Amino acid sequence: MKKRLSWLAIAALTVLAGCSSTGEDERRKLELLAQSRASVISSGLPIEQGPLSIMKASASKGVVEIMMLYNTDAKGALSLDQLLRNSMNYYCTDREVKANLDLGLAYRIMIRNTRGQLMIDQMVTQQYCSQPLPN
């Protein structure tokens, strides 16, 4: 009886160790994917699209962090609500971004004004994109 319990305990620990190892592997894969995506974005910086400029991309714990500047005084500048809605629509519908979200990657979108003040700080995850976008 004791041998059987010992064997079951060892088997349970082995299974748990295997699960944590798998979780650790998945976490590491996400971190590498985030670093890769941030590196690809960084290689083409700065990216300017009208009043919006992507200035920095980095990775932290499986999250691609993208820092943008938005010139609210520029011709064609949108309201912050419209800017956020358009940005989230892109991140939630772009085929490549959506595939990364499905793998568990997240994007943190930070938009500052020309004075450096943080205007928007939004996490984009698969769960976020599965919700209807606000009107």
Q: What is the pTM of this model?
A: 0.79
Read off the pLDDT band of 53 (50, 70, 90): very high
pLDDT of residue 24: 87
pLDDT tens by residue, 55-82: 999 999 999 999 999 998 888 899 988 9
Residue 2 covered by a domain = no
Q: Please write the tens of the pLDDT for every residue from 23-48.
A: 788 889 999 999 999 999 999 999 99
Percent of the chain scored above 70 by pLDDT?
A: 81
* Boundaries of domain holding 31: 23-130
Helix (H/G/I), strand (E/B), else coil: 3? helix
How many domains, in total, are found in the chain? 1
Residue 109, beta-bridge partner list:
66, 122
Q: What is the CATH number of the domain that holds 78?
A: 3.30.300.250
